[in-house]
Amino acid sequence: MEKHLEYNTALVTGATSGIGKAITKRLLQLGMNVVAVGRNEEKLEALKSEFDHHTKLFVIQANVSKQQEIESAVKQAETQFGSVDVLVNNAGKMGSSRILEGETSDWDDMIDINIKGLLYGVDAVVGAMVNKQKGHIVNICSDSGFEVIERLSVYCATKFSVRAISIGLEKELANTGVRVSNISPGMVETGLSANSPFEENRKKLEPKDIANAVAYAISQPSYVNVNEITVRPS
Ligand SMILES: NC(=O)c1ccc[n+]([C@@H]2O[C@H](COP(=O)([O-])OP(=O)(O)OC[C@H]3O[C@@H](n4cnc5c(N)ncnc54)[C@H](OP(=O)(O)O)[C@@H]3O)[C@@H](O)[C@H]2O)c1
């Protein structure tokens, strides 16, 4: 365990690939119980097999954009490990997003997963955290939460929303013992960014680089709230 890590259990959404999988691995390395949430059953089974030596991993199938499913996932996590101390809201979608292209079903998905799914996750854990005066909510935002890229207008709108939610939540939770960290990656090598244009000779971030930022944020002394971390390729 890291020196100041005072949490036992984390629930990570979108844990079956990319950044979420790297966060799952890093938190297991820190000695935490990790509840890994994803939608795709095969990917969940693959995650279980990959970490089968880890008795602290518990896998749950749930769609974050369905409020009852994420509430049920949190209840199962509490039954398994006693409490959820850290929620990592990582599940996300970057779909076709130019407003003029009018791909409204992609817009609905991005709003449902990136904004509503994140809020449902917060709602499912925050009451118990406030009662215990201990907990940490980590929202995986994006550099798209700071600047709008023309081909990604709607995706950027969802990530601006994530940042607004993180800032508002941090204010609402000030002095409650519950901390909020908004972590904003630039381009990371994952399936989500596979088709995004990027400079030929510039190295993208690796998922573990974002997992390290999460580990840093949650292992500070309890009087320290790391609100925003932005990590970009150099
Ligand atoms: N990659 C980048 O360059 C980059 C940059 C900035 C920010 N981000 C953010 O980082 C986060 C993770 O992205 P990634 O690059 O790791 O993408 P990824 O490899 O595509 O992984 C996305 C994960 O989210 C899960 N997921 C999607 N919709 C879900 C839902 N409704 N319910 C539950 N799980 C769901 C997927 O699981 P299933 O397949 O099982 O549904 C998958 O595990 C996202 O929020 C993304 O916006 C990524």
pLDDT tens by residue, 216-226 = 999 999 999 99
Q: Give yes or no for residue 4 having a pLDDT over 90.
A: no
Q: Which of 11, 74, 190, 205 to mutate to test the pocket of ligand 1 (most atoms within 8 A of CB)?
A: 190
Q: Give yes or no for residue 2 having a pLDDT over 70.
A: no
Whether the Cβ atoms of residue 185 and residue 229 lie closer than 8 Å to each other: no
Q: Is 92 in the pocket of ligand 1 (CB under 6 A)?
A: yes
Give the pLDDT band of residue 55 (cuts 50, 70, 90). confident
Q: What is the DSSP string of 133-199?
A: T-EEEEEE--GGGTS--GGGHHHHHHHHHHHHHHHHHHHHTTTTTEEEEEEEE-SBSSTTTTTS---
Q: Is 179 in the pocket of ligand 1 (CB under 6 A)?
A: no
Please report, as a single letter, which amino acid is at residue 123: D
Out of 7, 120, 155, 223, the active site residue is 155
Catalytic-residue membership of 223: no
Q: Is 163 in the pocket of ligand 1 (CB under 6 A)?
A: no
Q: Ligand 1: which residue has its CA nearest to atom 44?
A: 92
Structure token pair of residue 159: 């990530």
Pairing label, strands 135-140, 9-13: unpaired
Mean pLDDT of 138-143: 98
Q: Report the distance separating Cα 116 and Cα 119, nearest Å.
A: 5
Q: Give yes or no for residue 128 having a pLDDT over 70.
A: yes
Residues 23, 27, 29, 34, CA torsion sign? negative
Structure token pair of residue 224: 């320290």
Q: Is 210 in the pocket of ligand 1 (CB under 6 A)?
A: no
Q: Is the pTM of this model over 0.85?
A: yes
Q: Give yes or no for residue 193 having a pLDDT over 60.
A: yes
Give the pLDDT band of residue 70 (cuts 50, 70, 90). very high
